[in-house]
Structure 1
Amino acid sequence: MANQVNKAPFKVIATKSSRIKDLSIANGQLIFIQDLSRIALDFGGKRTFYNQITELDKDSERISMTDPVYGYYFVIDTAILWLYKDGWIQVSGTPGEVMYIGTELPELGQANKLYVNKQIKNISVWDEESHSYIIVADCTDEISDTEIEDLFKAE
């Protein structure tokens, strides 16, 4: 059985180390720094970095661990941070919002979430059945007013 330490709403952000300075401190932010495999937690008006994080894809991996060692564990599927110390302690609640800023899409997505790729300029959703992203919107180049009017002219 896990003890829950913090029931406050959390927002999970995934970004690269070069973008961390652009994020202002806001209590309840859990920031996953993908290129360094670190996590930062904004709490009590300050940002604390955690360097030794074990990444797990699914919560079932955490639950089925036979001999977990003391430390922090981040479950990608649920975006929840755990501490193992004589038992599992849930450090963060289920995030109300998950954002990916200036990063590649995560390897595993979550249903009912939109994923925006600002480089390619498209929006995707995660498809559980195929375990892949499906593009649902794509940015197109602007066209002129004249080109729009030409679409509606009778030939």
Structure 2
Amino acid sequence: MNKIPMTLNGAKKLRKELERLKNFQRPAIIRAIAEAREYGDLKENAEYHAAREQQGFCEGRIKQIESKLSNAQIIDITKLAPSNGQVIFGATVTIENLDSQEKQTYCIVGDDEADFKQNLISINSPIARGLVGKNKEDVAIIQTPGGEVEYKILNIEYL
């Protein structure tokens, strides 16, 4: 199976979620199932069926996280920072839209870590693909649904 690129922070978040699911949520669901069984007839026991459904979601998420972590290629950007100043996976890039003069800062992360609201963009997004390999002061032309947009790279950080 192919390795999945992931930042150090992304791996830490997944491990933290996995720990929470295994050590807190799973035991709580088991207690809820045991309590619901005490109510008697399982055929018409809504609490039992809800707890079993919740258990299925929890176990599915645990397997999903374990799979992602076992296939992860964890990249520590602080140890990889190139001396040539190029945009790479894990870099934090400040760009300016040359049409609107709007400035934005993005961190390029793996698919599972991406959260546009927190300015974390996937390495596979059009913006990231257009920025990777570019240097400070370069202009990147990004294809958007509204047409091509030109962005100037103002700053590149390796945090």
TM tier, shorter chain?
under 0.3
- TM-score, normalised relative to structure 1: 0.25
TM-score by length of 2: 0.24
State the structure with bigger RCO (CA 8 A, min sep 6), 1 or 2: 2
The structure carrying a bigger strand percent of its residues is 1
More helix by share: 2
